[in-house]
């Protein structure tokens, strides 16, 4: 919240509209994951498994790369012009882009379509988090609402892969024309969901008066820049792990374990449940928001351990345990980083959250591409996981001492106390 600016907490109706927006873009991303290898098989002129795995990883990475390129800009736009118009633009553009994706019938167009999907999706998360931060009357209020945003994202990622996998689960070979039509129907439904979210944002999120829009600061607070860069580094490395893990797990399931789309989608759904449980715990009343700063180092170490364990797992139980380690630690690190970025940011909260999203998106893009490229290396079995684990361990440098640096941190700009927030609710909406 900006110094000198007192605003009431967001209503539950507005919070629900934000949750729907985040859920919609998560579904739009996740619904493609179990289907993409089969879709590439159908549209690609080659049958070489290594080339197909490269396309799968690179197309997935293209979506995330677009978020990396655009999220900081969307964040700056939201600082200058407000969160609401950025959310509306992003959701409307995402709906149109996803609908057009159903018409693409070549691999190059798949790349183009996923780039535009990511371009508009990049607007949603930074603006949603920043809007909550603008209205936060306390650390606990901020943490709990951030947890709800994370849950909405995880729920969308749970629903997307499992629905996509179930819709095409009967097709063990590259999808037929009927399966392609089923996939198109799913994407059109996702597009409609994004439009519904846009309508909800337009109706339920308050419109700030022109005189009370926060101004974009020329520079952030230099005191917090070193801490902010550490948080961005952890966000980047965590996302590298998630990207490589998603693609590596998809390809391992298809080419090594002989899974169909339903089984792959179910596997991703199980990952989402683990991530949800981790996030629900870390931002529950059992853990104070201040205590989450101690989770960075153990979270990074657990993530690296889980990645190493995935290709070594020889039984279903061992595989499930390794996957749970990766999903749980990644599901813990991502929201904790976001919380502390928002909490330590100043008037450039939207931009700082945009850069955090960009760092995570670049990491996921590189991880997704690396997952596809490393999967075909026969001289180093499991390279998609073991090489990524080595990269994750580099984040230990950023995590050491971070808890001490964050101790006693106060939000940049005055945050209204709970009584002040209640009193401000009697004022005209901003």
Distances in Å between the Cα of 250 and the Cα atoms of 180, 263, 350 are 19, 10, 33
Angstrom distance (rounded) from CA 190 to CA 184: 10
Q: What percent helix, strand, coil does the chain show, rounded to 5? A: 75, 0, 25
- C-alpha 32/C-alpha 110 separation (Å) is 11
Q: How many residues comprise the chain? A: 430
Res 221 pLDDT > 70: no
Are the C-beta atoms of 354 and 73 separated by less than 8 Å? yes
CA pair distance 10, 204, nearest whole angstrom? 10
DSSP code of 45?
A: S
Average pLDDT, integer, range 328-351: 85
pLDDT at 205 over 80: yes
List CB contacts of 254: < 8 A, sequence separation 6 or more: 37, 264
- Which position has the higher pLDDT, 210 or 142? 142
Average pLDDT estimate for 78-98: 93
**Band of pLDDT at residue 379, cut at 50, 70 and 90:** low
Compute the C-alpha angle 122/124/129, nearest 5°: 115
Report the pLDDT value the prediction gives residue 124, as an integer from 0 to 100: 95
Domain ranges of the chain: 12-207+221-411
Main-chain dihedrals φ then ψ at residue 358, nearest 5 degrees: -65, -45
Query: Considering the chain, what is the average pLDDT of its residues?
Result: 79
Q: Using pLDDT thresholds of 50, 70 and 90, give the confidence band for residue 42.
A: confident
Q: List the single range of 5-19, 48-62, 238-252 with lowest mean pLDDT.
A: 48-62
Instruction: Tell me the per-residue pLDDT of 354-365, one tens digit each, with 9 for 90 and over.
Output: 999 889 888 877
- The three-state secondary structure class of 378 is coil
- Match 């596809």 to its residue by tokens: 372
Place of tokens 């820049």: 225
Comparison of pLDDT for 120 and 67, the residue scoring more = 120
Please compute the mean of the pLDDT values over residues 366-380 and round it to a whole number.
75
The pLDDT-based confidence of 217 (bands split at 50, 70, 90) is: very low
User: What is the per-residue pLDDT for 83?
Assistant: 93
| CATH assignment, 12-207+221-411 | 1.20.1250.20
Note the pLDDT of residue 43: 74
Q: How far is CA 105 from CA 27, 101, 173, in A?
A: 22, 9, 18
Give the pTM.
Answer: 0.74
Question: Cβ distance 158 to 269 under 8 Å?
Answer: yes
Question: 368 or 223: whose pLDDT is higher?
Answer: 368
The predicted-structure confidence for 286-332, as pLDDT tens digits, reads as follows 888 888 899 999 999 999 999 988 888 777 788 788 888 988 898 88
Q: What is the 3-state secondary structure (H, E, C) of 200-246?
A: HHHHHCCCCCHHHCCCCCCCCCHHHHHHHHHHHHHHHHHHHHHHHHH
Written as six digits, the tokens of 264 are 């792959």
């Amino acid at each position: 919240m900006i110094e000198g600016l007192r605003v009431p907490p967001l209503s539950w109706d507005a919070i629900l509209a934000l949750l729907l927006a985040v859920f919609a873009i998560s579904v739009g991303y996740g619904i493609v994951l179990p289907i993409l290898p089969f879709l590439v098989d159908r549209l690609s002129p080659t049958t070489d498994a290594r080339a197909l795995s490269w396309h799968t990883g690179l197309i997935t990475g293209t979506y995330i790369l677009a978020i990396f390129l655009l999220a900081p800009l969307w964040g700056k736009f939201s600082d200058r012009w407000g969160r609401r118009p950025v959310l509306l633009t992003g959701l409307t553009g995402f709906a149109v882009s996803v609908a057009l994706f159903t018409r693409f019938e070549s691999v190059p167009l798949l790349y183009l379509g996923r780039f535009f999907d990511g371009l508009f999706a990049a607007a949603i998360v930074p603006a949603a988090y920043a809007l909550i931060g603008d209205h936060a009357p306390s650390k606990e209020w901020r943490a709990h609402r951030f947890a709800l945003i994370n849950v909405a994202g995880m729920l969308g990622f749970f629903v997307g892969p499992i629905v996509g996998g179930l819709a095409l689960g009967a097709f063990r070979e590259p999808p037929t024309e009927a399966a392609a039509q089923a996939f198109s129907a799913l994407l059109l439904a996702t597009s409609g969901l994004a439009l519904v979210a846009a309508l909800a944002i337009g109706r339920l999120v308050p419109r700030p008066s022109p005189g009370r829009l926060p101004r974009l600061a020329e520079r952030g607070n230099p005191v917090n820049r070193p801490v902010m860069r550490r948080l961005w580094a952890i966000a980047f490395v965590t996302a590298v792990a998630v990207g490589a893990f998603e693609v590596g797990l998809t390809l391992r399931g298809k080419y090594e374990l002989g899974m169909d789309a339903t089984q792959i989608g179910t596997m991703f759904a199980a990952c989402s449940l683990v991530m949800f449980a981790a996030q629900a715990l870390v931002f529950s009343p059992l853990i104070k928001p201040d205590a989450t700063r101690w989770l960075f180092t153990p979270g990074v170490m657990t993530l690296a351990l889980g990645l190493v364990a995935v290709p070594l797992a020889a039984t279903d139980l061992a595989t499930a345990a390794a996957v749970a380690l990766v999903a749980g630690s990644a599901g813990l690190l991502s929201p904790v980083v976001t919380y502390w970025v928002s909490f330590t940011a100043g008037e450039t909260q939207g931009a700082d959250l945009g850069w955090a999203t960009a760092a995570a998106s670049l990491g996921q893009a590189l991880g997704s591409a690396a997952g596809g490229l490393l999967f075909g290396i026969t001289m180093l079995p499991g390279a998609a996981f073991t090489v990524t684990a080595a990269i994750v361990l580099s984040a230990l440098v950023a995590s050491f001492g971070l808890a001490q640096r964050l101790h006693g941190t106060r939000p940049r700009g005055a945050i209204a106390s709970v009584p002040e927030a209640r009193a401000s609710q009697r004022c005209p909406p901003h």
